[in-house]
């Protein structure tokens, strides 16, 4: 109907109803202090004029609090709904938000120029930053907003930013020890990204220079433990993936093309491990009969996969809860929290096959 005409403002309603804007405001925000007769008149006028209620844009400026927390990532937005780890984390974050009535704003952008703008103009009270691929630019941007923020899974060396992470070295150690104790001696490692972009086989030295400390620490954890079992880690093949099916399968093609095929696969995420299980099934390799696979994260899909996945479980729910708490309560925790991890033994790992 009344298109092209700009929306009705509270002041318009006030004028039409013959009261001051102060009183009109009270009708909506503190109805109990306005005399009933006036209240009804103003409400009726508002209704008649098609007033949409106090505009949050205006309210916001005065109130100062948005009542929403931002969750930011470098990945496309759909990462939050596609990636198993992100999904579980988001579910726990959203439960915590529900409990306090806070909303969630998803912030991201395909290209990094958009990213900057999106972070700078996000209407939120604080940020939870997903640093799965550890780009420090994202952290930098979020920090410049000078709002409370927490990084999840951040490079463990940047001690100055608030972060909630897990003990990657210890966790990786648990996985490696578990397999070594089963008698495995021929290992192969599927890593998370080390550098921008590509994937392919890399050397230990290359992995050590990884941009992402999470990747680096997990590798160190694996190798430290394997060394303890007198395994020559310099011979363990490492394949860098981008945490998707294509690169994982390429990695396995690579491992199993060599003459000394591995009997144990260490995967740095459950997502990779689950893709690996698919690959094994397609290639008629028995798990854990021929090859054992251990993941990392502890996503629920691992419990129902074929076979169920042995993995290093992060306390994802607890991490999400703490992140939200940190944003909502604090005004700038700068501490780092390292959460413990748990080895969850299921059916994807077993004794090493007797050498044939």
Interface with a copy of itself by CB under 8 A: which range of 29-37, 145-153, 165-173, 280-288?
145-153
Residues in region 92-131 near a copy of itself by CB under 8 A: 92, 94-95, 97-99, 101, 103-110, 114, 117-118, 120-123
Among 3, 5, 22, 205, binds DNA (CB under 7 A): 22
Name the residue nearer to a copy of itself (CB basis): 8 or 242: 8
Name the residue nearer to DNA (CB basis): 64 or 197: 64
142 part of the interface to a copy of itself, by CB under 8 A: no
- Closest approach of DNA to the CB of residue 42, in Å: 9
125 within 8 A of 67, measured Cβ to Cβ: yes
160 part of the interface to a copy of itself, by CB under 8 A: no
CA distances from 24 to 8, 34, 58, 63, 313 (A): 13, 9, 14, 17, 55
**Residue 25 binds: one of DNA, a copy of itself, none (C-beta under 5 to 8 A by kind):** DNA
Name the residue nearer to a copy of itself (CB basis): 70 or 288: 70
Name the residue nearer to DNA (CB basis): 65 or 355: 65
How far is 164 from 152, CA to CA, in rounded Å? 5
Question: For 151, what's the count of Cα atoms within 13 Å in the CB-facing half-sphere?
Answer: 29
100 part of the interface to DNA, by CB under 7 A: no
308 part of the interface to a copy of itself, by CB under 8 A: no
28 part of the interface to DNA, by CB under 7 A: yes
Interface with DNA by CB under 7 A: which range of 31-39, 102-110, 229-237, 273-281?
31-39
30 part of the interface to a copy of itself, by CB under 8 A: no
- Closest approach of DNA to the CB of residue 25, in Å: 3
Interface with DNA by CB under 7 A: which range of 54-62, 182-190, 231-239, 322-330?
54-62
90 part of the interface to a copy of itself, by CB under 8 A: yes
Q: How many residues touch DNA (CB under 7 A)?
A: 30
- Closest approach of a copy of itself to the CB of residue 325, in Å: 16
How far is 312 from 172, CA to CA, in rounded Å? 8
Query: For binding to a copy of itself (CB under 8 A), which residues are involved?
Result: 3, 7, 50, 52-54, 56-61, 64, 66-68, 76-78, 80-82, 87-88, 90-92, 94-95, 97-99, 101, 103-110, 114, 117-118, 120-123, 144-147, 331-332
């Amino acid at each position: 109907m009344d298109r092209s005409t700009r929306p009705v403002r509270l002041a318009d309603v006030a004028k039409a109803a013959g009261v001051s804007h102060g009183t009109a405001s009270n009708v909506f925000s503190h109805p109990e202090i306005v005399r009933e007769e006036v209240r009804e008149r103003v409400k009726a006028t508002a209704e008649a004029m098609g007033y949409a209620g106090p505009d949050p844009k205006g309210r916001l400026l005065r109130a100062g609090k948005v009542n929403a927390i931002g969750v930011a990532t470098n990945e496309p937005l759909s990462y939050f709904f596609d990636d198993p780890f992100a999904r579980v984390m988001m579910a726990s974050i959203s439960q915590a938000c529900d409990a306090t009535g806070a909303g969630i704003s998803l912030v991201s952008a395909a290209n990094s120029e958009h990213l900057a703008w999106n972070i700078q103009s996000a209407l939120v009270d604080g940020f939870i930053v997903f640093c799965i691929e550890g780009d420090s630019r994202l952290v930098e941007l979020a920090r410049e907003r000078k709002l409370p923020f927490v990084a999840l899974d951040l490079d463990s060396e940047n001690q100055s930013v608030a972060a909630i992470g897990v003990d990657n070295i210890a966790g990786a150690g648990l996985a490696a020890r578990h397999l070594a104790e089963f008698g495995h001696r021929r290992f192969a490692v599927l890593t998370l990204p080390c550098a921008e972009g590509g994937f392919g086989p890399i050397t230990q030295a290359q992995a050590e220079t990884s941009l992402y400390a999470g990747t680096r620490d997990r590798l160190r954890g694996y190798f430290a433990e394997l060394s303890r079992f007198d395994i020559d880690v310099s011979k363990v093949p490492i394949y860098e993936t981008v945490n998707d099916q294509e690169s994982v399968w390429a990695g396995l093609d690579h491992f199993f093309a060599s003459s000394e095929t591995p009997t144990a696969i260490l995967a740095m995420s459950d997502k990779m491990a689950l893709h690996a299980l698919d690959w094994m099934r397609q290639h008629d390799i028995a798990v854990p009969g021929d090859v054992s696979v251990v993941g990392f994260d502890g996503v629920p899909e691992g419990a129902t996969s074929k076979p169920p996945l042995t993995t290093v479980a992060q306390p994802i729910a607890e991490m999400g809860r703490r992140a939200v708490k940190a944003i909502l309560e604090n005004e700038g925790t700068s501490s780092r929290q390292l959460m413990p991890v748990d080895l969850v033994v299921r059916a994807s790992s077993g004794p090493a096959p007797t050498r044939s």
